[in-house]
Structure formats: C-alpha cells, structure tokens
Amino acid sequence: MGRFLPRTTRTNTNGNGVSMVKWEEKKIEDCADFFNGLAHEHIINRHGKYILVTSKCIATEEKSVRYVSQQLYPLFVNDITMVMSDIPNGRALAKCMFIRKNGTYTLNQRICVFRNHKIDSTFLFYILNRNKCFLDFNDGYNQTNLRKVDILNCIIKIPPLPEQRRIATVLSDTDELITALEKLIAKKCNIKQGAMQELLTGKRRLPGFSGKWVEKKLDELLEYEQPTSYIVNNAKYSDSGIPVLTAGKSLVLGYTNENTGIYDNLPVIIFDDFTTESKFITYRFKVKSSAMKFLTSAGKSDIRLVYSLMQMIDFPLKDHKRYWISDYSKLYVKIPQDITEQTAIASILSDMDAEIDALTAKLNKLKHIKQGMMSELLTGRIRILEQKIAVEPATVVMPLKPKKAVKKNTIKKIASEGHNDAIEDAVILAVVTEVFATEKFPLTPFYAQKLPYLIHRHIKGVAKGYTKKAAGPYNPSLKYKTALPIALANKYVIGKKAEYKGVHYTSLLAGTKAAEAKAYFIKWHGNEPIQWLEQFHYIKNRRDELELLATVDMAICDLRDDNQTITVQNVKNIIQNSKDWKAKLKREIFSDENISRTIKWSNNLFGQEEKS
C-alpha cells in the first residue's frame, strides 16, 4: 500500500465545488470527562512497578520519571493527561501525554486526565496539547494554576469525525517520523561516543599508524584570546545577520547587524571560563559577554582532535571562578605525535559530527513543519479531503542470466532504469570495499561475504542466497556469478593476490570507477546505509565479532522463520545442527554469554522482526 500526502484545500469546498461541513465550536466539557490525580509522594519507590505521571514526566516526554509501588489512580489506553500548574512562562503548562499502555501509569496530583472522549482521542490530544486557551492564563509573573472550570469552559473547534481522524493520522505519522529520527540521532551519537573511546585513547589505531602517543598540556597545544573586542554592543537581537554566541547549551543567542568586531580567525574553540563548556566554531560570529576564551591551535596539533579530547575530560567545578588560565589549560591530554594520525582521527570524528548535525537540522526542520501543519490543520484553515489510497505498482526487476557476464556498457542502462540483484550485489561489494579497504589492509574474502550480508539485513531485512559455511553465512554467487565478477569487470574493485598459511586468495581494493558504483548505491538506498556501516570500523576483535554476529543473526532468522522463540539454547541448536557450524560451539567466542549479548546486538541493529 503506497503512502501519499493528503489532498488539502484552503477553501470550504472539496475541490469539486461541493461544500464541506463546517467545524463546530464546543466546550471541552462537551468533548470529554475530566478527573484530577491523587498525591503519591508517600509511596515513591525507585524499585516500584508503576510510573508516576508528574509534570516533569510529561515535560520530558518520560525521559525523567519516578516510580511508585501502587496505582492509586490507574491510567488506561487513550487517556490524555495534562499539566495544570507551572512556573511563570514555564514550558510544561498544559503539555499533554497520550497513554498507550494499561497497567503501567498512575496519575499524580495537579495533573488532570481526560477520558470517555466524545471525539477522536488522538485528535483531541493534538487540540489540547499546549492549547492557547490554557497558555493565556500565564501572566509571566506568578505561578499558573489552571482551574477545572477554566479548562472545561475552554472553546475548541471540532470538524466531523472522519476529518478528525484524517488530521490525527497526518500528525501521528509526522510524530512517528520525528521519533524515528530522534532514535537515529541517538544511535549515531552512541556510535560516535564509542568511536571516541576507542580512537582518542589509542586503544584502537587506524590502519597505517603505529607511532608514539605523547602527553601534552592544553596550553602547549592551544593559544587563547580574550573576547573583549568581539562583544556585541546592542543586545537586542534580530532574526538574521551575524550570529551572537555563548559557549553554553543554547550556543546561538540571536543575530546582529553590527559589521565591526566580528571574529573570523577560524576554526576556533569557544570556552566558557566558568562552566568549562566548549564549542567548536567554523563560522564568523560575535559574543554576548567576556566570560569565555577563544582557543586556537598553537601550530603543533589538529585543533579538531584537541577539541574532541577536551570533550573527554571530566573536570569537577569547585568555586565560581575563571578556570582556563589557572587550572584547565594545565591539564594533560595524550595525543599522537604524528600530525597525520591526528588529522586522520579528527577527520573520522568530524565526519560523524557532520552527519549528526545534518540529521539534527533535518529533525528541527521536521518539527518546524509539524508546528506549521498544526496551526493550519487544527484551526480549519486547511482542510484534508477524503481520498482513496492508491496502490503502488510492483517494482519491475530486470532478469539476469547468471551464467553470462554483464556487459560493461549495460551497467549504466540497468542502473538508470532500475536494478536487478546481480548489479546490486556488485555495487554493494564496491561500496563495502571503498569504505573498509586500504592499500595496507585490502578487503579479504571474509569481509566480502560478511559485510554485504549485514548491509542486506539493514536495507531489506533479509539476506537471500546465504548458506551455512565454516566462517558463517556464505553466498557462493557473490564470488562466482554476481558481485565479484561484475565489480571486477566494471572496475568498481580491483583484485590483489594474497596468501595466508599457504592458502591463496584475492583481496580487494577500490577500483577506478568505485565512485560510479557508490553513486548508484546512494541513488537506490541513500547515504544512510553507508554511514551505518561505519560502526563496524571500531569493533575490537572485528573478525571474530563479525563472524559471531552474522552466525547468530542467521540463526535468529531461521528461528523466526520456524516461529520458534529466540533463546541462547535455540540459537545453539541451530549451530549444532549444521555440519559446518557445530565446531563453532567449542570456541570461546561462541560462549553462552557471547551468544546472549549478540542476540541483543542483532535486535538493536535489525529490530526484533524482519522488515516487510
């Protein structure tokens, strides 16, 4: 079933000249029943079974919760809870939370709940959440306490039930996209944190580097400048111009049109002298106050790497004072002596930062779009028309006769018109080689099998054509029919003869047309899977770990196909019952503990169910 943007109109006709039903105005008391919560403070228990719905729980979207041992006021699916009290100009006032589970939540005092809804529950949630009617009770000076009578007398506009449901669906779908993007950003941040732990401590060295790491004081690596000449004269900011920065969490305070005293010795680290927070800046700016230092490279290091090392420092604050000159600059960091290794590490982390920044910008844009949608859809200024859902035509897959090599001049034609499995296998092998292979460490046959397996699982949810061989999942077609022959013929990869313990094999390097293959991949799947692959750069004992992951994951897929429970014992049974795999169970890497953590690892990577 295809997803389409809803047909909308800014008029009160349906596009065919037929008038649409007008929205009604109703009091909230006519749309739902209202109840107050109860005090739970006497039964707070961090080991409790139930989540206490408080203003903080709602305001943080359950990121900060307290638990209780009893449900004094149980909440049920489709209940809508709302914060009734907040500080002046507080952001929690009238914020709502939609209950999606029974037996999990209990309602605290000064939080209300709406239930027995006479209109669509999801639509009502979006109407009530931070409704202007409630926010108008905030005078900006005193604590705001919404009264039951004020809430129930609030007037809201209600469309017919089918339109309520269409609006609710559009906004819910947008929220799902936002949530998915937030999870992806969190995942990328965790991957980056892991990479920092490995690369900035020297635990994992990049291929080609083996030089010493040395300890240096920060003031040996960085020079500082006072910000006095760059302080903004007028603190009345505009919406455009030169950004005015702080080293705190907000970073950009606003914009100024002042054209003098603009800092442009870039890149630079801005360092909050009192909190020791810092930001890496690559664009021209001014600042609000002198409570910071500007830090630039002393010429002995890559400033990007020094900034990353600063983020790893756990510096306890003692007194309210300036710290850079007296304390912080005297701290030691360990850094590669070779500036080339510094730059290589910094580039990897910078690329990760760039991806996270791009995703965050996309998230902020999506949130902004949602706000605009709500202001239009929930007021009736834009109406969603009823429509039939179209079915997308089936994707046309071009057949390939596997015994015949694909001619070079047909690749571009196939890639532009659609792609078959053989071409896709060749392109995936090219991308994997381009990401992982170096002149010193070419891609071996092991990785030419395991990494494509993982990327197929990530993109499609299933890796077809793989059988159980000694080193894990193995697809002979990749070597003899599809990926390798096609990629070699089209110069996506080049082969390099190698030998290990008397065994001759072909390892791979990126070919002269690797960029062409990568462009096809991005056209078909986007850049996200390539970034996803990067996490496997930073795994300790990578070969064993990937064999473990691919083997356990393939066993999990077999169990799901047979509708069996995913347990350590059942995974071991799959391995034991394969003549090529059973010897694995004698190895330490396939211990019960390692299989257990790898089941969780697989679920984190691919989800607990295959993608449809």
Picking from 313, 337, 361, the residue at the C-terminal end of a domain is: 337
Mean pLDDT taken over the chain: 87
CATH of the domain at 116: 3.90.220.20
396, pLDDT greater than 60: no
Q: b/e for 240-254, b at 16 or more Cβ within 10 A?
A: eebbbbbbbeeeebb
Question: 350 in a domain, yes or no?
Answer: no
Question: 558 in a domain, yes or no?
Answer: yes
Q: How confident is the model at residue 12 (pLDDT cuts 50, 70, 90)?
A: low
Shared domain check, 521 and 581: no
User: Do 268 and 326 contact (CB within 8 A), yes or no?
Assistant: no
Shared domain check, 600 and 554: yes
For 567-612, how does the pLDDT look when each residue is reduced to its tens digit (9 = 90+)? 999 999 999 999 999 999 999 999 999 999 999 888 888 876 533 3
Sign, Cα dihedral of 325, 326, 328, 332 = positive
CA distance 579 to 239: 68
Shared domain check, 294 and 408: no
382, pLDDT greater than 90: no
State the SS3 of 217-235.
EHHHHEEEECCHHHECCCC
Residue 290 tokens, joined: 């002198």
pLDDT confidence of residue 408: 45
Q: Which residue has the higher pLDDT, 602 or 12?
A: 602
For 513-571, how does the pLDDT look when each residue is reduced to its tens digit (9 = 90+)? 888 888 888 888 888 888 888 888 767 788 999 999 999 999 999 998 888 888 999 99
pLDDT confidence of residue 268: 96
CA distance 422 to 477: 9
Question: 364 in a domain, yes or no?
Answer: no
422, pLDDT greater than 50: yes
Question: 137 in a domain, yes or no?
Answer: yes
CA distance 518 to 283: 31
pLDDT confidence of residue 415: 46
Question: 415 in a domain, yes or no?
Answer: yes
- Tell me phi and psi for residue 8, to 5 degrees: -130, 165
> Which residues, in sequence order, are bridge partners of residue 551?
none
Shared domain check, 587 and 469: no
pTM over 0.75: no
Picking from 533, 565, 584, the residue at the C-terminal end of a domain is: 533
Average the pLDDT over 399-425 and give the result. Answer: 53
Task: With residue 509 as reference, give the H or E element that holds it.
Answer: strand 503-510
User: Residue 110 half-sphere exposure, CB side, CA atoms within 13 Å?
Assistant: 15
Q: How confident is the model at residue 20 (pLDDT cuts 50, 70, 90)?
A: low
Among 112-121, 397-406, 469-478, 524-533, name the one with the lowest average pLDDT.
397-406
Shared domain check, 322 and 233: yes
Shared domain check, 444 and 327: no
410, pLDDT greater than 60: no
391, pLDDT greater than 50: no
Average the pLDDT over 27-45 and give the result. Answer: 94
User: Residue 46 half-sphere exposure, CB side, CA atoms within 13 Å?
Assistant: 1
Q: Which residue has the higher pLDDT, 299 or 405?
A: 299
Average the pLDDT over 156-178 and give the result. Answer: 92
Average the pLDDT over 231-247 and give the result. Answer: 88
Q: How confident is the model at residue 9 (pLDDT cuts 50, 70, 90)?
A: low
Question: 7 in a domain, yes or no?
Answer: no
CA distance 366 to 184: 14
pLDDT confidence of residue 392: 36
pLDDT confidence of residue 335: 95
Sign, Cα dihedral of 497, 499, 500, 504 = positive
Q: Which residue has the higher pLDDT, 564 or 499?
A: 564
6, pLDDT greater than 70: no
Number of domains in the chain: 4
Shared domain check, 562 and 576: yes
17, pLDDT greater than 80: no
Average the pLDDT over 439-456 and give the result. Answer: 91
Shared domain check, 323 and 261: yes
Shared domain check, 495 and 543: no
For 259-269, how does the pLDDT look when each residue is reduced to its tens digit (9 = 90+)? 999 999 999 99
Secondary structure letter of residue 579 according to DSSP:
T
SS3 262: coil
Question: 86 in a domain, yes or no?
Answer: yes
Average the pLDDT over 211-228 and give the result. Answer: 94
Token look-up 């080991």 returns: 47
Among 84-88, 130-134, 435-439, name the one with the lowest average pLDDT.
435-439
pLDDT confidence of residue 520: 86
Average the pLDDT over 140-158 and give the result. Answer: 94
Shared domain check, 105 and 32: yes
pLDDT confidence of residue 539: 76
Both ends of the chain: CA-CA distance in Å?
Answer: 12
Shared domain check, 401 and 461: yes
Q: Would you call the peptide bond into 529 cis, given omega within 30 degrees of 0 as the criterion? A: no
Picking from 157, 176, 192, the residue at the C-terminal end of a domain is: 157
Question: 181 in a domain, yes or no?
Answer: no
Average the pLDDT over 2-22 and give the result. Answer: 54
User: Do 599 and 571 contact (CB within 8 A), yes or no?
Assistant: yes
CA distance 244 to 253: 6
pLDDT confidence of residue 15: 52
Shared domain check, 557 and 508: no
pLDDT confidence of residue 547: 94
1, pLDDT greater than 90: no
Q: Which structural domain range is residue 51 located in?
A: 24-157
User: Do 83 and 114 contact (CB within 8 A), yes or no?
Assistant: no
> Which residues, in sequence order, are bridge partners of residue 540?
none
416, pLDDT greater than 50: no
Q: How confident is the model at residue 440 (pLDDT cuts 50, 70, 90)?
A: confident
Token look-up 């039903």 returns: 21
For 318-368, how does the pLDDT look when each residue is reduced to its tens digit (9 = 90+)? 888 999 999 999 999 999 999 999 999 999 998 888 899 889 989 989 998
Q: How confident is the model at residue 429 (pLDDT cuts 50, 70, 90)?
A: very high
Question: Among residues of the chain, what percentage have pLDDT more than 70?
Answer: 90
Question: Among residues of the chain, what percentage have pLDDT more than 90?
Answer: 58
In this structure, how many other beta carbons lie within 10 angstroms of the beta carbon of residue 271? 26
